[in-house]
Amino acid sequence: MSEELLEIKDLRIEYHTDESVIHAVNGIDLSVKKGQTLGLVGETGAGKTTIAKSILRILPGLQAKILSGEIRFEGKDLLSVSEREMRKIRGNKIAMIFQDPMTALNPIETIGFQISETLKIHNKLTKKEARKKACEMLELVGIPSYRYDEYPHQFSGGMKQRVVIAIGLACNPELLLADEPTTALDVTIQAQVLEMMAELKEKLDTSVILITHDLGVVANFCDSVAVAYAGEIVERGTVEQIFDHVAHPYTEGLFASLPRLDRRERRLKPIKGLMPDPAALPEGCSFCDRCPYAEERCFKTKPADVELEPGHIVKCFRVAGGE
């Protein structure tokens, strides 16, 4: 067993607005092993991005409140280190790729400048050295280095995402947080970018948290999976455990609602209803209103984590037995 690079324990985050309190993350546990890719799956509003942002401590300070929890990275709790120290980690040991390459880049700086910026800050490189390294990074992500002095608008969406990846990987981070890196791209371009990311990950031995809503991407690129629903991780395990032995009714529902290229079906089986409002979560299991198997106890008490097999952890009464 390889060691854990990042361990999140009992993380709880709320957003406070004028009208209400939004329970965005409600006691999640997560871990990423060194050199592995964790797929964080879930629908809009499940809290995926909030989790990623909390790792880097870039949540909006005024609204977001971290109630409890621990984020262990290389022996330190990221939630309690000083801002000064955090600045050395951000973009250096932990980097993030944002969803939308169109807005993640600064439109008035050249892409070369934006890649070398992180290198100058973290690695204390001179301008010349930084340029050389930045050119290497460009070549690495498949962009000819003569385009160093061009501006973001001169690149297509797929190319921009490559630039964003080059910035993320420039300092050779231990952990890369990729927030839906290919959602805004066409499938053939998505395939190019994902393949490149997988290659670079191998080469640089980076661990990745890949946030996505696409189970196909997870099947092809991840080692382990965590399924987020209404601010909780309802099921986690290795890809084999999740894809071959689905245990949580929500994960099961997600698979059933996917139209599949590799199968012939006449009707999809959607999950009925909607995700609960994070400002007014049900008392019991957060999935109880939509769950086809819900029983009385599901509406009253929250199910605890059950370890089905080593590493395969499910939040559901049903799997705990006593059906």
Chain residues in the site for other proteins (CB under 8 A): 43-44, 156-159, 186-192, 194-195, 213-221, 239-240, 243-244, 253-262, 264-265, 267-272, 274
**Which C-beta is closer to other proteins: that of 119 or that of 163?**
163
* Gap between the Cα atoms of 254 and 192, Å rounded: 26
Q: What angle do CA 12, 6, 11 make, to 5 degrees?
A: 5
From residue 319, alpha-carbon distances to 223, 245, 308, 312, 316 in Å are: 23, 12, 8, 11, 6
Report, in Å, the least distance between residue 99 CB and other proteins. 14
- Report the C-alpha gap between 79 and 70 in whole angstroms: 6
Residues with Cβ within 8 Å of residue 7, at least 6 apart in sequence: 30, 31, 70, 71, 72, 73
CB of 245 to other proteins, least distance (A): 12
Q: Please state the closest distance from residue 294 (CB atom) to other proteins, in A.
A: 16
Smallest distance, other proteins to C-beta of residue 181, A: 13
User: For other proteins, which is the closer residue by CB, 73 or 250?
Assistant: 250
Pairing verdict, β 94-97 and 175-179:
parallel
The Cα–Cα gap between 210 and 33 comes to 13
Instruction: Report H helices in the chain.
Output: 48-56, 83-89, 101-104, 111-123, 127-140, 157-169, 187-204, 215-221, 239-244, 249-256, 296-300
| Nearer of residues 194 and 314 to other proteins, judged by Cβ | 194
Among residues 69 and 253, whose Cβ is nearest to other proteins? Answer: 253
Work out how close the CB of 44 gets to other proteins at its nearest, in angstroms, rounded to a whole number: 5
Q: Which of 109, 100, 29, 22 minimizes the C-alpha distance to 59?
A: 22
24 or 89: CB nearest other proteins: 24
CB of 176 to other proteins, least distance (A): 19
Q: Least distance to other proteins from the beta carbon of 45, Å?
A: 9
Q: Among residues 171 and 275, whose Cβ is nearest to other proteins?
A: 275
CA–CA separation, 300 and 214 (whole Å): 32
Strands 4-16 and 64-73: what pairing? Answer: antiparallel
Kindly tell me which of 145 and 220 has the beta carbon lying closer to other proteins. Answer: 220
